[in-house]
Amino acid sequence: MKLLLSLFLTLTLCFQQYAEARQVRVLSDKVEFNGKVNTTQRKSLILLNESQEKSVYYLRYLRGNIGSSQNIQVCLGDNCYDPRKDLSQIKLTLNPGEVYTDLYIEFELGIIPTKGTFDLHFFNSNSTRDAFIIESVYNVIGENPSEEVSHQDVDMGSIYPNPSVRSAQLDYKIKNPAASVRVVINSFIGNPIYDFTLDPGQETLVIPVTDLNPGTYFYTLIVDNKNIVTEKLYVKR
């Protein structure tokens, strides 16, 4: 009984210390970028300094998938910076109880239909335990509606993220469980790499690409041995 009580008190103390350490709350919902290729979107964020102290926060790192044709900038008022190059210049100074509204993310969606996520991690310059994260997701659709395939036996989206580094995903929904539905991956010169049979009980296919050389590949949807559509998969390192 004493051991359980001691463990409970320890966990409670740790939670209180964590809550005290975290002083900034992100009032905005998860940032979402949804749009067509070759477009740029700008989203605003709202932060609240819940402490009674003036604090300075730096962007420590950007984590996630940003494609080679995409571009991201973090803007503080009228000043914009590339978080992949200008980390030291992205600094927020929040006064006690301040609601900060001059933070923006500007995102160029790129030239390739794809999906992905990225996070911005901010840390207090005086306490690494005091941190907050801005979560972002993006969904880039093509100009041509045919990139979302709708067949009588299966619906299939575009592969994402594209380009891929470690793995790619393909969302699908089989409408006719009796149909034979496959996705075949071929090299640029047509050599077969993978041949996946889609499971009617699943809705996502995960494709490993860590063993593939950087470059362009093709994926083909095949239903009952008939080629339905072929699209490109880009692999990078």
**Closest of 27, 168, 174, 206 to residue 101, by C-alpha:** 27
Q: Could you read off the pLDDT of 97-133 as tens digits, one per residue?
A: 999 999 999 999 987 778 889 999 999 988 878 999 9
- Other Cβ atoms less than 10 A from the Cβ of 109: the count is 24
Say what the pLDDT of residue 208 is.
93
Give residue for tokens 């503080």: 76
Q: Could you read off the pLDDT of 181-219 as tens digits, one per residue?
A: 999 999 988 899 999 999 999 999 999 999 999 999 999
How far is Cα 224 from Cα 176, in angstroms, rounded to an integer?
Answer: 11
Q: 221 or 127, which is more confident?
A: 221
pLDDT score of 9 more than 70: no
Element spanning 215, H or E: strand 215-223
pLDDT score of 71 more than 60: yes
- Spatial strand order of the sheet with 79-81 comes to 24-26, 40-49, 99-108, 71-76, 79-81
Mean pLDDT of 173-186: 95
pLDDT score of 8 more than 90: no
Say what the pLDDT of residue 1 is.
53
